[in-house]
Amino acid sequence: MIASAVPPVVPAGHLAERQQPVLTLSSGMELRPWRAGDVGTLMAAGQDPAIRQWNLLVVASPAEAAKRIERMHERWQNEQGAIWAIADPDGGEAVGLIGLSDIDLAGGSAEVVYWVLPAGRGRGVVVEATKRLSRWAFDDLGLHRLRLCHSMANPASCRVAAKAGFLVEGTMRSALLHEDGWHDQHLHALVQGDI
Ligand SMILES: CC(C)(COP(=O)(O)OP(=O)(O)OC[C@H]1O[C@@H](n2cnc3c(N)ncnc32)[C@H](O)[C@@H]1OP(=O)(O)O)[C@@H](O)C(=O)NCCC(=O)NCCS
C-alpha cells in the first residue's frame, strides 16, 4: 500500500463488502441492479441516436449487452463503478441507467452518468434519480464530491444537472471526442453539504 499524508476518505472494501441496494424514488420508480433480463433495454439504448451521440454507447449484439451487464457487477466488486437500472418496481423493465463511474474511494469522488430511453423521457425521472443517487453517495457510501460532465451541445443534460443541484464550475475545452469531433464540456459538481 502507498502511504498518503491524509487517510482515505472512504476505506477500500467499503463498496465491495455491501450488496448493491435498491433505491426507491418518490415517483414510484426505483433504482435497482441491472439483471440478465435487461438485455433488451441495453440493445434499445445502443440503437438510440441521442444515447449513442452523448453516451458513446454502441451495443453490437445481445451477447455484448449481457457482457456489459456482467461487467457492471464486476465494477461494483472492483469498486470502480456503481451502476443502477431506472425501472418500474416489481420486476418492471428498465427504462434507463444511472450510476457512478470512475469511483475514487480514497479521494472521495466519482462521476455521475445517465441516460433514459425515449419512452422514459420528459417526466423528470433522471433529475429525481440523480438526487437520490447523490444522497446515497454522500450519506451511505461517504463520498465527498460528485462531478457531472456533458457536452456544451447537450442542453437537456445541462438542465438535468442544474435541477439536481450540481453547480457549473467551468468549461473543459476539447474534453471529449464524439463521432463528429471534439466537444467542449461543462463541468458540474455537487459537494457534501450542498444538499
Ligand atoms: C439527458 C436526458 C437524461 C434527460 O432526461 P429527460 O427525461 O429527457 O429529462 P426531463 O424531461 O426530466 O427534462 C429535464 C429538463 O431538461 C429540459 N430539456 C429537455 N430537453 C431539452 C433540450 N433539448 N434543450 C433544453 N432543455 C431541455 C426539460 O425542459 C427539463 O427542464 P425543465 O423542467 O426546467 O423544463 C435524456 O434526454 C437522455 O437520455 N438523452 C440522451 C442521452 C444523454 O444526453 N445522456 C447524458 C449524457 S451527459
Separation CA 186–CA 168 (nearest Å): 7
From residue 154, alpha-carbon distances to 53, 183, 184, 186 in Å are: 10, 10, 11, 10
**Residue 115: closest CA among 102, 132, 99, 96:** 96
Q: What is the pLDDT, as a whole number, of residue 100?
A: 98
Give the Å distance between the CA of 161 and the centre of ligand 1: 9
Mind listing the pLDDT tens digit for each residue in 32-86?
Answer: 999 999 999 999 999 999 999 999 999 999 999 999 999 999 999 999 999 999 9
Domain contains 114: yes
What angle is formed at CA 52 by the lines to CA 60 and CA 186, rounded to 5 degrees?
145
Domain annotation covers residue 8: no
Rounded Cα gap, residues 152 and 174, in angstroms: 10
pTM of the model: 0.97
Residue ranges in the chain modelled with pLDDT below 70: 1
Give residue 5's Cα distance to chain centre: 30
Q: What is the CATH number of the domain that holds 151?
A: 3.40.630.30
Give, using CA atoms, the residue closest to atom 31 of ligand 1.
Answer: 159
116 alpha carbon – ligand 1 mean position (Å): 9
Structure confidence at residue 87 (pLDDT)? 97
pLDDT at residue 1, as a whole number: 66
User: Which has the closest alpha carbon to 148: 109, 193, 119?
Assistant: 109
Q: Which of 126, 131, 158 to mutate to test the pocket of ligand 1 (most atoms within 8 A of CB)?
A: 126
pLDDT at 91: 82
Ligand 1 center–CA 51 separation, angstroms: 12
Establish if 71 belongs to a structural domain. Answer: yes
* CB-based pocket (< 6 A), ligand 1: 50-51, 54-55, 114-116, 121-127, 150, 154-157, 159-160
> Is 57 inside any structural domain?
yes
Q: What is the dihedral of CA 140, 9, 102, 144, to 10 degrees?
A: 60
Domain residues for the domain of 99 are 23-191
Residue whose Cα lies nearest atom 47 of ligand 1: it is: 54
Residue (of 53, 57, 51, 45) closest to 183 by Cα position: 53
Number of domains in the chain: 1
Instruction: Please report whether residue 158 resides in a domain.
Output: yes
